[in-house]
Amino acid sequence: MEKRDYYEILGVPKGSTKDEIRKSYRKIAMQYHPDRNPDNKEAEEKFKEATEAYEVLSDDDKRARYDRYGHTGMKGGQDFHGFNNVNDIFSHFSDIFGGSSIFDDFFGAPTQRGRAGRRRGQGTPGADLKVVLKLTLEEIASGVTKKIKIKKYKKCDACTGSGSEGGAAGKTCPACNGSGEVRTVSRSVFGQFVNIQTCANCNGEGTVVDKPCRKCSGDGRVNDEETIKVNVPAGVSEGSYMTLRGEGNAGLRGGTPGDIILVFQEIPHEYFKREGDDVLFDLFVSFPDIVLGAEYDVPTLTGKARLKIEAGTQPGKLLRMREKGIQHLNKHGAGDQLVRINVIVPKKIDSKEREMLKELQKMPNINPKQNAENGGFFKNFGF
């Protein structure tokens, strides 16, 4: 499905202020909030859609990127926080929802709002899976497609995830009459308290399995493994992550699946050192080459490239090879490769080389006298 424009979703013009965006989001979020629209998939989608739009437009960096590149600048939405459950959204936008939030006022305190009520009839959500993905600098430099084998809970195909033998529907939990909650009333000197707890008999799901599926023992899911293909964009860095929505563990008895959270790890390179999107490379050049000037084929993360070394270049000098570094994440262009010039000092020489070096030693430009008598550098130190 084509993604809708974020401004259109929030019903605000392109140049709106942060405050206008925030107000509009709050209005939409309240209208479509899952607690006000129980079992309404469309409302839930609208709620998530508005939240995603708000997450981008309320963040200066993300908004600028979106304004320039549209949804493609967002990498297809994959590098978002994948908000799968509403509690995530509450904790993420605590500035809007936190404290004595409008939601508490409208829908009651969190305990009454109760996760259990929302889950009724759709099992228990699956857990997220954190997967560490190791990448070489070469892979990071231009992006890579990776296949990863993952052990996870998958939906049981024998009962299509229901947990009931043959896929039959569960029956209403007798302990909570399907509400997923159990209320107990207690009295104390302070008055009467109503205590609401998740029903232990059905784990808050509201339904129980009559005849458990033999394959999954009534869980609606089985331990399995899966190979997934991931397109890692160029320019990711150590510790950054990507969320694959709905690819995590299957839920219990048809509950919403968790996400896969892919955390990137950078394998240190033997020869290249990363500095942001630039890379540093140490090049060793012979003494005649550095004195006379030369051209070298230099390794880069994407193959070799030609580098000109001017006559008389000093050791330690950094030469910049433009755009030969790591591609920027979600942005056009790439960092540079910085080449640090070093001089090869041989540890072993043969007799002919020794002879020639002794000759060179006598040459005034190769071996200038440094003392005061010759106007050399050491006169600064008085000798």
The residues of the shown chain that bind Zn ion, judged by CB under 5 A, are 156, 158-159, 173, 175-176, 199, 201-202, 213, 215-216
Which residues lie below 8 Å from residue 308, measured CB to CB, with a gap of 6+? 293, 294, 295
> Which is nearer to Zn ion, 199 or 262 (by Cβ)?
199
> Which is nearer to Zn ion, 221 or 274 (by Cβ)?
221
Distance CA 268, CA 342 (A): 22
> Which is nearer to Zn ion, 130 or 171 (by Cβ)?
171
Least distance to Zn ion, CB of residue 195, Å: 16
Which residues lie below 8 Å from residue 356, measured CB to CB, with a gap of 6+? none
Task: For residue 56, give the nearest of 5, 107, 105 by alpha carbon.
Answer: 5
Least distance to Zn ion, CB of residue 226, Å: 17
Least distance to Zn ion, CB of residue 206, Å: 6
Least distance to Zn ion, CB of residue 173, Å: 3
Give, in order, the Cα–Cα distances in Å from 134 to each of 148, 254, 268, 269.
11, 32, 10, 12
> Which is nearer to Zn ion, 197 or 240 (by Cβ)?
197
Least distance to Zn ion, CB of residue 251, Å: 13
Q: Which residues of 252-269 are buried (b: 16+ CB within 10 A; e: fewer)?
A: bbbbbbbbbbbebebeee
Where do runs of H (alpha helix) occur along the chain? 6-10, 18-32, 41-57, 60-69, 86-92, 94-97, 102-107, 110-113, 115-119, 137-142, 287-292, 351-361
> Which is nearer to Zn ion, 213 or 252 (by Cβ)?
213
Least distance to Zn ion, CB of residue 252, Å: 11
Task: For residue 26, give the nearest of 61, 51, 4 by alpha carbon.
Answer: 51
> Which is nearer to Zn ion, 215 or 328 (by Cβ)?
215
What are the beta bridge partners of residue 245?
none
